[in-house]
Amino acid sequence: MLDRGDRAPDFTLPDQDGREVSFHALLREGPVVLYFYPADFTPGCTKEACSIRDMHDEIAAAGMRVVGVSPQDADSHARFRDKHGLPFTLVADPDKVAVKAYGVDGPLGIGVRRATFLIGPDGVIRDAVVADLRVGRHEDFIRRAIAAAGQSGT
């Protein structure tokens, strides 16, 4: 898995609306919280997505944006986003292009590890956390990123 100080790999993949998203184009707008999750509609992933949704105003106020990545297709992401009122981009990665580039492929290539990265506009990973079963660690990680952005002005 990539870690603090590594350069974040670029990728271009479809979002929940089928539009191509270039990751490095998103970085031009400021820091990105990039999170990888195993699957839409599963209990842990739903809890995580809703937790991020509930912090979204704080994340945006800190000058950051959120992008979620998992292997489901754009239609699944659109249904997941609509059902839970998610105000952030979900990227479809069925071939695990981004998953593999960030080193979060599951054991023996099965599944996806639950990982969150904070990536600066310069494309360098500022911090990262992996916690497959402890969704709360990801929420804590994002809260610390929000606090740090507030102290540094992003």
> What is the CA angle 128-80-116, rounded to 5?
0
**Alpha helices (H) along 3-109:** 23-27, 43-61, 74-84, 97-101
CA 38, CA 5: separation in Å to the nearest integer? 25
Per annotation, catalytic residue among 45, 67, 92, 119: 45
Token pair recorded at residue 40: 């839409």
CA 138, CA 47: separation in Å to the nearest integer? 11
Is 50 designated active site?
no
Q: Which positions are catalytic?
A: 45
